[in-house]
Amino acid sequence: MLSCEHASHAVPAHLRERFGDDRMQALLASHRGYDLGALALARRLARALEAPLFAGTVTRLVVDLNRSPTNPRVFGAPVRDLDARERAALLRRYHAPHWARVGAHVARVIEAGDLALHVAVHSFTPRLDGHVRRTQIGLLYDPARPLERALCARWKRRLEAVAPHLRVRRNDPYEGRADGLPTALRRVHPADRYVGVELEVNQALLMGPTDARAAVSDALRATLAAVMTPTP
């Protein structure tokens, strides 16, 4: 199964006045508002692998679907001054349903006696706070979980074999054990039943020429298909 937490930069109608000026519109259209190119990639992977896809429907500047509901940064700066009742309503409307849909699917797979492989598709900005990120594809996982560690090691090797020009790194540009949806699911399901990987792709790869984008998605699709039955 696939998920895409930062798929959208949509703003709820009752909050649009908070995003009306040019500065906020620019933020919405940037990596601050959503993961550029991630939804298109997730859709291609889902179609090719015949896997279900669960995509977010709201900008991370309102509610970040890849943070725990208790994380102080689950709300974006434009809405943090809302009162507690309004913030709770945003969690109920956007955050809770997404986590529930993903969680319910994982639970059904495990209850059926199968291994749940969850790939959360994200993208990241090539430059952050003046720092150029050289990683092009990041595979994030919990090193303490053998199946995740083994899958990402094999996925990295296969990617490097079919696309040696790509810089593939594990647990970069973020730590796989950081707060997020896969981390939350790891607390619920044992390591031999749930495998959660966050796929992070540099936006320079996803926002370039059409043929280059297709080549990246094809490489990810082919290599993921080859490692979909992980063993320690």
CATH label of the domain that carries residue 17: 3.40.630.40
Residue 232 lies in a domain: no
Q: 166 in helix, strand or coil?
A: coil
Q: Into how many domains does the chain fold?
A: 1
**pLDDT of residue 188 exceeding 80:** yes
Could you list the residue range(s) of the whole structural domain that residue 25 is in?
2-226
**Upstream peptide bond of 173 is cis (omega within 30 degrees of 0):** yes
**What was the pLDDT predicted at 229?**
63
**pLDDT of residue 215 exceeding 70:** yes
**What was the pLDDT predicted at 103?**
98
Q: Can you tell me the mean pLDDT for 82-107?
A: 98
Token pair for 150: 């083994």
CA distance 194 to 209: 36
φ, ψ for residue 111, nearest 5 deg: -65, -25
**pLDDT of residue 230 exceeding 80:** no
Token pair for 95: 């955050």
Residue 90 lies in a domain: yes
Percent of the chain residues topping a pLDDT of 90: 93
Residue 220 lies in a domain: yes
Residue 231 lies in a domain: no
User: Whole-number mean pLDDT of the chain?
Assistant: 96
